[in-house]
Structure 1
Amino acid sequence: HNLSYSNLDCGVKLMQKIFNDSGSIGKKLSCGRTKAESLVKNVPAPEAVSQVLLALSRDGKPLPFAIQTDASNKGNRKMFPAVQCFTPQNGLLNRMIDFVENPHESANGIVKRITNSLENVGPSSDNVSAFSADNTNVNYGVHNSVYTDLHKKHKNLLQGNCRAHIVHNTVRHAVNELSVDIETVVLKEYGFSVSAKGRENFKEFFDFLDVQWREILWHVATRWLSLNPAVSRMLQNWVAVKSYFIC
């Protein structure tokens, strides 16, 4: 649920009061953020990594695998990487082998982080068969990128571009050919429902037309996956939206 370990500092105290009828068990309950983080890192995490290493081998022989990285934004922090492999028994597998902070977003910095993660966790970099990441210059630039640096060490390394971004870029250029700026329409529609009063007026109009109310979705230009849900929701509400703005 993306909850911070800090929540346990208060959560445990609350549970002690809720389960106070359980005798000494409830009163002695103790697991704050420090202990919880230690438990996660030292019990399930090593077991999860061992399962990944087991999946990356068959009959004692290592299997080829692909490295995937994605700079997951957590405030001003960047997190990396994961692996992907194929096994006859389980098909395509996506597994996390490390989740580390890396402030150096240069090609050299990312390559060092990938190399260090592989060395620390266990799978040999000699078995890396492909590299997959977002289609940015730092990842796939022609002269100096993560891919070109890795390719120097692995001559048969395959390039696994992000197909989702390719589709997104295709749609973005196609949308530019429309006679209407669809992003502006979606943003204007959402603007009428930002305030509590505006939302309530909009909702009352839906009731007047006997149309089911669905929350207006917010599209953020920098969040490239948000446009499709926002447009789909607008089409679901189209009868009421059209009447509201045209009438």
Structure 2
Amino acid sequence: SQATCVVCNQQFSIHYRGKADIDNHMKTQKHEKNMKSYNVNQQLITDTIKPSKEKDEICSAEAVLVVHGVKHGHSYVAQQCLTNVSKTIFSSSTVANHLSCGRTKSTSIALNVLAPYFTRCLLDDLKQSLYYSLHFDASNKGNTKEYPFCVQFLSSSGVKKGIVDLIDDADESANGIFANVRQLIMDNDQDFNGLTALGADNTNVNVDENHSVYSLFKEESPDILKGIKVLVN
């Protein structure tokens, strides 16, 4: 058995003597030296980072503005304009005056905060459903080939659909797409047997009876259905 000392960032064995091994480690010169700086750092963090209701309200307001912009397809340039207008209209509001949600920050909030959160919510709902369909399409963005993957399923609140991942891959072969789809299902801990239908463009690489993404899935799941309409278009 191994124990980890957070202060020393080190693992040591407690297999033979248990608590005695821990006591011996705590008496070492290295641990005692690290404890001095560890206590100082902990105190600095506690003194410097303090909860602030006002900061929480500002962060919440910025997140709401970004959600609103993404929902209605507004550009991040327009997001900057909206922030400036809000400051002017609500000049007496402390929260509005401290908004700093321009193009760069809005992009970061959307990609690094909101997207992972809503994707996780979608996948959590998907795990409560027994069956789902998967839709994908290939699109060019500059010199990059992108594949958005979208799921559709029946939840307790009705039919839900959403993009779960966007994969960059120049391989447009049936084997390459099949490998990406399979890996996507595994990475998100979804039940492969719950996949009931594939939706994709009506091309040979996607739906050909002899060798295609559909035929490869058909070999593993004989009851899978062939869909044509693509939700990600």
Match of 2:149, SS? strand
CA distance in 2, matches of 1:93, 1:3: 23
Distance 1:96 1:31, change over 3 A: same
Q: Which runs of 5 or more structure 1 residues have no equivalent in the other structure?
A: 164-247
CA distance in 2, matches of 1:54, 1:13: 33
Aligned equivalents of 2:146, 2:166: Cα separation in 1? 10
Which of 97, 100, 110 is the aligned partner of 2:177? 110
CA distance in 1 between counterparts of 2:182 and 2:193 reads: 11
Count, aligned residues: 158
Normalising by structure 2, report the TM-score. 0.53
Determine if the alignment matches structure 1 residue 85 to structure 2 residue 167.
Answer: no
Letter matched to residue 80 of structure 2: G
Correspondence 1:157-176 to 2 at 5 A: 157-162=224-229
Correspondences of 1:142-161 after superposition (within 5 Å): 142-161=209-228
1:53 aligns with 2:123: yes
Q: Which has the higher contact order (CA 8 A, sep 6+)?
A: 2
Secondary structure in 2 aligned to 1:95? strand
Q: Please state how far the C-alpha of 1:45 moved relative to its aligned partner.
A: 1.9
Equivalent AA in structure 1 for residue 153 of structure 2: C
- 1:110 Cα deviation (Å)? 1.6
Q: 1:33 to 1:157 in 2, by over 3 A?
A: same
Distance 1:55 1:150, change over 3 A: same
Please state whether the residue corresponding to 2:205 is helix, strand or coil: helix
Task: Please point out which of 124, 132, 146 is paired with 1:65.
Answer: 132
Q: Which runs of 4+ in 1 moved over 6 A?
A: 23-27
8 Å contact 2:202–2:228 — kept in the other structure?
A: yes
- Mapped pair 1:11 → 2:41: no
RMSD: 3.5
Matched, 1:37 2:107: yes
Say if 1:27 and 1:64 are closer, same or farther in 2 by CA, change over 3 A: closer
* Partner amino acid, structure 2, of 1:22: S
Displacement of 1:4: 4.9
Distance in 2 (alpha carbons) for counterparts of 1:126 and 1:21: 53
Quickly say closer, same or farther: Cα 1:102–1:80, change in 2 above 3 A.
farther
Cα deviation code 1:32-63 (max 9, x no counterpart): 444323211333223322332233244xxx51
Q: Distance in 1 between matches of 2:151 and 2:158?
A: 14
Deviation at 1:81, TM superposition (A): 0.7
Say which SS state the counterpart of residue 22 (structure 1) adopts.
coil
* Equivalent pair of 2:174/2:211 in contact (CA under 8 Å): yes
Q: Is the CA contact 1:15–1:26 (under 8 Å) kept in the aligned structure 2?
A: no
DSSP 3-state at the match of 2:146:
strand
- How much does 1:86 deviate? 2.7
Cα gap change, 1:36 to 1:14, in 2 (>3 Å): closer
Question: 2:204 is matched with which residue?
Answer: 137
The DSSP-based 3-state class of the residue aligned with 2:154 is strand
- Per-residue CA shift, 1:147-193, capped at 9, x if unaligned? 11222222322222339xxxxxxxxxxxxxxxxxxxxxxxxxxxxxx
Q: TM-score, normalised by structure 1?
A: 0.51
Q: How much does 1:13 deviate?
A: 11
- Aligned counterparts of 2:218 and 2:150: Cα–Cα separation in 1: 18
Q: CA deviation at 1:28?
A: 5.1
